[in-house]
Chain A
């Protein structure tokens, strides 16, 4: 939609837009069933989970969280992330709004059952903690040949 309004937009930018639109479509659509370990809406940090046949990708939105305070563990298919975000208090200032989360947090995320808890990678970038968990080989869809 954006692209048609701005014909001079570079194709690279258009490509970004398209990718983002796809992502919005991907994560913006369905009403989700509530997981037994899920937190109330609005809990910190927000979480998105996506999957491919080979891996499960968990994104935790943890802006301003020092990665050193994070504790990530996985037991079978339940991933737990805890940590804290202490906001620096501005002394001698009057606060009008305090909407940002301050304190300790913990979230448990139930992943598909075929994840391999021994193959987990985590990295932090621009305030997003991305945890990649590989799935077991046997669970991947296999092409069946017709003889």
Chain B
């Protein structure tokens, strides 16, 4: 039987950082196959150099600062997005290998591939017909 996936979200309050600034929770898709877990997050406006991905023990933290080009003296008329800081964290499960995470960022979409430890990947059991 495959192991129960354990990628649980944490509320921003769990993150031990005190900041007054509002934080955006980027929407994510998470899926799992035999190789590992793929996490995709929407982080529009975040360039590569303002994105951080940290793994501390079994916590994965994704943070990014959006940057967009604004003329001087701009006044807001309407806003759906009211912050420039994205942050979200996930707890990883022990069969994942956090040291080999592959991260790509393209057009504001972050894709993380978190592999499973080789020895823990599910093995297909052949049924021999005698």
- Bitwise, A47-70 to B at CB < 8 A (1) or not (0) is 111111111110101111100000
Within the complex, the shortest CB–CB distance from A132 to chain B, in Å, comes to 8
Tell yes or no: A29 within 8 A of B by CB: yes
Interface residues on chain B, size class: 35 or more
Q: Choose among A23, A24, A62, A98 the residue with the greatest number of B CB atoms under 10 Å from its CB.
A: A23
Measured between beta carbons, the chain B residues less than 8 angstroms from A96 are 5, 7, 30-32
A126 touches B108 (CB 8 A): yes
B28 touches A49 (CB 8 A): no
A29 touches B76 (CB 8 A): yes
A16 to B71, CA, bound (A): 15
Interface residues on chain A, size class: 35 or more
A48 touches B76 (CB 8 A): yes
B77 touches A51 (CB 8 A): yes
Within the complex, the shortest CB–CB distance from A13 to chain B, in Å, comes to 10
Measured between beta carbons, the chain A residues less than 8 angstroms from B38 are 90, 93
- Bitwise, B67-80 to A at CB < 8 A (1) or not (0) is 11111111111111
Within the complex, the shortest CB–CB distance from B18 to chain A, in Å, comes to 9
B75 touches A50 (CB 8 A): yes
A50 touches B70 (CB 8 A): yes
Tell yes or no: B130 within 8 A of A by CB: no
Tell yes or no: A20 within 8 A of B by CB: yes
A-B contact pairs, 9 of them (CB 8 A): A26-B74, A29-B76, A30-B76, A63-B43, A63-B107, A97-B28, A100-B42, A112-B77, A126-B108
B interface list, Cβ under 8 A from A: 5, 7, 19-22, 27-34, 38, 40, 42-47, 65-85, 106-109
